[in-house]
Chains A and B, each alone.
Chain A
Amino acid sequence: MGATKKIIIEPVTRVEGHGKVSILLDENGQVTRARLHIVEFRGFERFIQGRPYWEVPVTVQRLCGICPVSHHLAAAKAMDVIVGADKLTPTAEKMRRLMHYGQIYQSHALHFFHLVSPDLLFGFDADPAIRNIIGVIKKFPELAVQGVMMRKFGQEIIKVTAGKKIHGTGAIPGGINKNLSIAERDSLLKDIDQQIEWSRGALKIAKDYTIEHIGELSDFGAFDSSHLSLIREDGAMDLYDGGIRMIDSQGNKVIDHFDYQNYTDIIAEEVKDWSYMKFPFIKDQGTENGWYRVGPLSRVNTADFIDTPEAEIARQEFKALTGGKPNNLTMAYHWARMIEVLHAAEKIKELLHDDDLQGEDLVVKGERRSEGVGLIEAPRGTLFHHYKVNEDDQVTMCNLIVSTTSNNVPMNLAVEKVAKKYLSGSEITEGLLNRVEVAIRAYDPCLSCATHALGKMPLTVSVVDHNGQIVDKKST
């Protein structure tokens, strides 16, 4: 291998909001640098400016077609602050929680069964003609059906709590616009035990895979890091609300129960010239060291306990693998994600048996404020929504920190570690390149906060030599 090569995994256009991986090889075929560039539109904050605040929980769903519910709820929580609703009614809070657990459940299930399971079930080097969802359908049809039905169940919860898929209106400033009817409740209850059973099965696959492959995974894009998430007052995992907790790689609490209304006191965002995305960091630790991970791995790491019985047992097993210390394996995201699937299913069942969901007291109001922050633990991690509103009820400022942004540095680290370990000095094969994608996929990044119009390819892989000539190309 004489010439310097640059391997690029990139989208055809910027329209969809894609990722691009560039891997630079020196003349000896050694990886010198690997970077993940995520193309993200930054115009959304301006799009929101000037709109009346009560429209925002609906409008922000336009930001992302993958997790509109997370944006809907984070914006609604920020607008609760604006309208002075410091404590929602039990019906409102529980309806929102049900909506949120439905979103977590369907998002995690889809990611695991349809995007991740081919890698886990067939291996990273398996023939790509088999290592995909059709391979799963042929060899493990029952798993593929479960993935569809789990996703469908979560979407049904969203439908009865949020309304239309493309225009969810359930959460409004200060509360919710409907309760759960008995018929809606009973329709969901008839399926919940089956859903819990499937969740147990998915968890077992993820757990067994991690333990059986611990040797390889311990050096697969793994690195020490801080972990950040919301945490309930008593230290329990809480995906809907709480204070900010950050632990270091050894589990020491660096930040705990911090009021997220003041998040700008501890978190800032850096811009780098090679990426369209911002890089959030903890101010006290600076731009070099202040990065952190978010998402399922971080949430299971930061929680003192989980308040549903089966997920708590699973959490304890997860923690036992690392002697109670935080688990820093990139690939452990999958195990943690499936613990959350079981937790979400258990919480959904608990909520469906709660009569508060049929309450009639839906909205509260208080003293009007001009600024509000809403945080939620979205499927991919902590999601920040921050707004300022003028006396004419118009939004004058909007700042969002999405989960994938927080995981920007970690994903880049994972890509570089995997590229250096597997691609250096080797003939570049599909299986080796797939390892880079496997590392990124573990974080479940949201690369599609945008359009997807017909005629767009999601991804291509190009190998470019030092003269800029494409010497190899792969589409995924």
Chain B
Amino acid sequence: MTGTAKKVLIIGYGNPGRLDDGLGPLFAEEMEKLQLDGVTVDSNYQLAVEDSAAIAEHDFVVFVDADVSGPAPFHFERVVPKHHMSFSSHSISADALMAMAEDLLSSKADAFMLGIRGYEFNEFGERISPEARKNLDDALVFMKHALEDCDFAKYVNRFAVEGR
């Protein structure tokens, strides 16, 4: 359970068939096992516009994605709503999704991105590299801690679990 009455939505996204790109869905799978009250967990291959409907029903949203070049083991940052149009893909970025939820559905949710550093992406395969798995474990510890008070803003720019 979260330490507050706030409702939190965690969306892990990525392709589990593309090695470390599966970090987001695997994170979601691990979080779902905890069955935390007040925490809704979802996962998909990518973000999509209909996610805006679920976002509008929560106080906080945490997007969890594999990061190809950020710091290890993870980084945590605020998502600022911002509109921009993708070229032809049916996916949508987290900032554009938040802007859509805000404009269309009057969402007041605060959004954050948890980018977990991955290393292997350019092949098909349903496995996570050992280094990325360690990063995932650290990210899980971090998120469980952050959910205790849901004061996510104080963790912005956090790159590692405290004490490690």
Contact = CB atoms under 8 A, between A and B. Distances in A.
B76 to A, nearest CB: 12
Interface stretch (A143-151, A195-203, A243-251, A266-274): A143-151
A229 interface: no
A150 B99 CA distance: 19
B104 A141 contact: yes
B85 A165 contact: no
A456 interface: yes
B124 A43 contact: yes
Contact of A118 (B20, B21, B85): B85
Nearest to A155: B50
B124 A148 contact: no
Nearest to A11: B87
B53 interface: yes
Nearest to A144: B104
Interface string A97-134: 00000000011001100110010000000001001111
Interface string A431-455: 0000001001100110110111111
B43 interface: yes
A137 B100 contact: yes
Contact of A455 (B69, B87, B99, B125): B69
A15 interface: yes
Interface stretch (A60-68, A180-188, A253-261, A339-347): A60-68
Contact of A62 (B17, B52, B104): B17
Contacts of A132: 83-85
Nearest to A164: B43
Contact of A454 (B65, B91, B105, B126): B65
A42 to B, nearest CB: 10
Contact of B87 (A68, A106, A459): A459
Contacts, number: 155
B2 interface: no
B162 interface: no
Size class of the B contact interface (CB-based, 8 Å): 35 or more
A65 B24 CA distance: 13
A275 interface: no
A163 interface: no
Q: Is the interface of B mostly helix, strand, loop or mixed?
A: loop
Interface string A5-28: 000000000111001000000000
Contacts of B99: 134
A476 B87 contact: yes
Nearest to A115: B88
Given A62-B15, A62-B17, A453-B68, A134 B83 contact: yes
A328 B50 CA distance: 33
A47 interface: yes
A62 B87 contact: no
A445 B87 CA distance: 10
Interface in B66-83: 66-70, 83
Contacts of B49: 110, 114, 147-148, 151
Most B-side CB within 10 Å, residue of A137, A166, A445: A166
A14 B18 CA distance: 13
A37 to B, nearest CB: 14
Given A132-B84, A134-B103, A454-B66, 15 more contacts: A59-B126, A62-B17, A64-B45, A65-B45, A115-B88, A131-B85, A137-B103, A137-B104, A148-B105, A155-B48, A155-B50, A437-B87, A440-B88, A451-B18, A476-B86
